[in-house]
Every structure is written in C-alpha cells, then in structure tokens.
C-alpha cells in the first residue's frame, strides 16, 4: 500500500507539472487523488461498508450470509495518504513544484519518525530540508535526545500508568458509579494527551537527530478557550490539513449560502475528521458533534463577547 501511494503520487505529480490546460490538470488531479483514496477506502473502510450494507439489506434479503472481506492492516496509511493528497493538491494549485527525484519523494512520504502517526507534513516544509546534505549538529542532537526522553516520560511514566485506572473502570463501567467514573474520565483525558503528544515528541526528537524539523503537533490543548480553539491546538497538522483542503474549498463553493455555507462546510469537514479517525459510527458521530459544537460556538460568539 505504501509503495502504491508513493508511485501513484510521484508519477501523477510529474504529469500534473507538465500539463498546462486547466481542464486536463483537473482530470489528472481527480484521477490521482481517486486512486489514493480508493486504496485507503479498500484498506480501512471496506469491512465497515459491507457490514452496514448487510444490515441495510436485511429487511429485503433476510439473513442471507454476505461474506466479510478480509483485508490486511496497513498501519499509518491514513497519515501518509493525507500527506500524498496534499502534495498533489499543492502541485495543482501551483504552490509546489513536482519532485523529480523518486528516492527523495519516497523519503518525503516514508520518513520513518512521522510515518505511523504523523505529523502530516507538507511538501513545502519537509522536501526542502531533505535536499540539504547531512552534517552532524551538536545542538540538534542534544535537543533531539532531550525531546525523545521527554516523550518517553510522558508515554511510559504518565500515560501507561494512568491507563491502569482507565482500563479498570472503563473495562467494567457498569460496576462503578460516581467518583470512580469521573476520575476515570479525566484520567482518560490525561492518558490520550500524554500518549499521543509523547509519541509526537519522540518523532520530532528523532527527526532532529537528522537536522529535520517536523511540524509541532500540540500547543497546550487543554488550555483552549473553546472547541474551535482546542482544534487549533490539538493534532495541529491534521487540523490545518482539514482546514486547507476540505473546509476552505467547501466554504468557497458554498459562499452564496451566506451563514449556512460555513456551517455546512464545518459539518462536512468534521464528518471527514471523524471517519478519518476510525471506521465506526462512534467516530462519525464524534466528528459530527465537534462540527456542531464549533458551529454553535461561532454563531453565538459575538453575544458571548
């Protein structure tokens, strides 16, 4: 899957860079993006889609057995596919020149510290750094090792210890009431932040050993003053990706709908965010709720002020 995404994006990027006719460029973009999205859907969402189709058709066909597709797991695919999609879109919008060197482009997609869980890097920020020859830098090495140590502390000492409380209570939620449920819920907030931001610290620190600066992915998210502010601070590389490649194009397309346009764009953007996080209705509803929260917050913002 990784090889398929790399080769598809690389060759379609070169094709886009050579084409000057707008209508043809758009068809090339849609074809390249469509292939990458098809790979992502095949790997992550096909079993979910078949299961829901089976439930939907049950009143018509009864309990006829529909075999579930068996697919292999491709770890990190949603991260590197989104990175590939941003590369293709940036070439189409002429803010990025196609990378001619296949090895360097493959390194941009596959750079190992950020491959599995991000950050989702833009070509304009990472490809430029990959072109520079490596030279040992003491300060970068020192800062990188300290960042790795801090990330390991957050992950192993905090997140994994708090997980004991969370797993005990959430594993038998019906057996607890009151204070234990409250403690477990707030403990989960600590766990998910220190786990994910700890991993990110390790990734950023490892990249610094190679003199590479990856995108900062967190900025004190639990100090946010609202849901919109939270998403500007949490998983920043994903939030900015969704803003640039889904929300703004939809907002522009629905600009004639006045207030309804931005709200519809918000809901679609966060539905995509929910589906991106996982192939289940829980994540889709979670994304819809966040879209509704932000839309409601923006609509009453001037009254709150």
Return the HEC string of the chain.
Answer: CHHHHHHHHHHHHHHHHHCCCHHHHHHHHHHHHHHHHHHHHHHHCHHHHHHHHHHHHHHHHCCCCCCCCCCCCCCCHHHHHHHHHHHHHHHHCCCCCCCCCHHHHHHHHHCHHHHCCCCCCCHHHHHHHHCCCCCCCHHHHHHHHHHHHHHHHHHHHHHHHHHHHHHHHHCCHHHCCCHHHHHHHHHHHHHHHHHHHHHHHHHHHHHHHCCCCCCCCCCCHHHCCCHHHHHHHCCHHHHHHHHHHHHHHHHHHCHHHCCHHHHHHHHHHHHHHHHHHCCCHHHHHHHHHHHHHHHHHHHCHHHHC
Same domain, yes or no, for 71 and 190?
Answer: no
- Domain of 87, in residue numbers: 2-130
Same domain, yes or no, for 32 and 120?
Answer: yes
Same domain, yes or no, for 111 and 163?
Answer: no
Mean pLDDT of the chain: 91
pLDDT at 64: 55
Same domain, yes or no, for 48 and 120?
Answer: yes
pLDDT at 71: 60
Whether 7 is in a domain gets the answer yes
Rg (CA), the chain: 22
Last residue of a domain, one of 95, 130, 165: 130
Residue 107 scores a pLDDT above 60: yes
Same domain, yes or no, for 33 and 101?
Answer: yes
From residue 158, alpha-carbon distances to 26, 169, 265, 280 in Å are 48, 17, 37, 28
Last residue of a domain, one of 130, 155, 175: 130
Last residue of a domain, one of 130, 161, 179: 130
Same domain, yes or no, for 78 and 146?
Answer: no
Give me the mean pLDDT over the 103-116 stretch.
Answer: 94
C-alpha of 191 from chain center: 19
Same domain, yes or no, for 31 and 147?
Answer: no
Is pTM beyond 0.85 here?
yes
With cut-offs at 50, 70 and 90, classify the pLDDT of residue 200.
very high
Same domain, yes or no, for 110 and 147?
Answer: no
The total domain count for the chain is 3
Percent of the chain beyond pLDDT 70?
96
- Closest C-alpha to 13, from 124, 87, 102, 82: 87
CA dist 277 and 84 (Å) reads 17
Q: Which residues are catalytic?
A: 277
Residue 72 scores a pLDDT above 80: no
With cut-offs at 50, 70 and 90, classify the pLDDT of residue 50.
confident
Same domain, yes or no, for 231 and 152?
Answer: no
- Closest C-alpha to 266, from 217, 231, 235: 231
Give me the mean pLDDT over the 245-268 stretch.
Answer: 90
Residue 120 burial (CB < 10 Å; 0-12/13-18/19+)?
Answer: buried
Same domain, yes or no, for 111 and 28?
Answer: yes
Residue 93 scores a pLDDT above 70: yes
Number of CB atoms found within 10 A of residue 124's CB: 13
Whether 217 is in a domain gets the answer no
pLDDT tens, position by position, 5-42? 999 999 999 999 998 888 999 999 999 999 999 998 88
Same domain, yes or no, for 158 and 113?
Answer: no
Least confident of 41-50, 116-125, 158-167: 41-50
Whether 117 is in a domain gets the answer yes
Same domain, yes or no, for 277 and 235?
Answer: yes
Least confident of 45-59, 175-189, 221-235, 266-280: 45-59
């Amino acid at each position: 899957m990784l090889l398929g995404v790399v080769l598809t994006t690389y060759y379609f990027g070169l094709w886009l860079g050579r084409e000057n006719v707008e209508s043809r460029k758009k068809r090339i973009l849609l074809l390249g993006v469509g292939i990458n999205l098809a790979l992502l859907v095949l790997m992550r969402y096909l079993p979910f889609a078949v299961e829901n189709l089976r439930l939907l058709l049950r009143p018509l066909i009864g309990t006829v057995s529909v075999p579930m597709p068996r697919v292999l797991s491709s770890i990190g695919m949603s991260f590197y596919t989104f990175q590939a999609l941003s590369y293709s879109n940036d070439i189409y919008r002429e803010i990025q020149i196609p990378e001619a060197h296949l090895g360097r482009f493959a390194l941009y997609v596959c750079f190992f510290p950020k491959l599995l869980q991000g950050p989702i890097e833009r070509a304009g920020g990472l490809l430029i750094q990959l072109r520079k020859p490596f030279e040992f830098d003491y300060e970068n090495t020192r800062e990188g090792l300290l960042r790795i140590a801090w990330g390991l502390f957050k992950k192993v000492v905090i997140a994994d210890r708090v997980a004991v409380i969370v797993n005990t209570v959430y594993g038998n939620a019906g057996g607890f009431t009151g204070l234990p449920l409250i403690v477990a819920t707030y403990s989960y907030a600590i766990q998910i932040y220190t786990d994910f931001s700890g991993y990110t610290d390790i990734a950023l620190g490892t990249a610094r050993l190679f003199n590479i600066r990856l995108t900062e992915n967190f900025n004190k998210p639990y100090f946010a003053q609202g849901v919109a502010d939270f998403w500007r601070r949490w998983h920043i590389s994903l939030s900015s990706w969704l803003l640039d490649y889904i929300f703004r194009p939809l907002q522009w397309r629905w600009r004639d709908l006045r207030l309804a346009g931005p709200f519809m764009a918000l809901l679609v953007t966060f539905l995509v965010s929910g589906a991106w996080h996982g192939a289940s209705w829980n994540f889709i509803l979670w994304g819809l709720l966040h879209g509704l929260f932000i839309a409601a917050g923006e609509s009453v913002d001037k009254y709150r002020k």
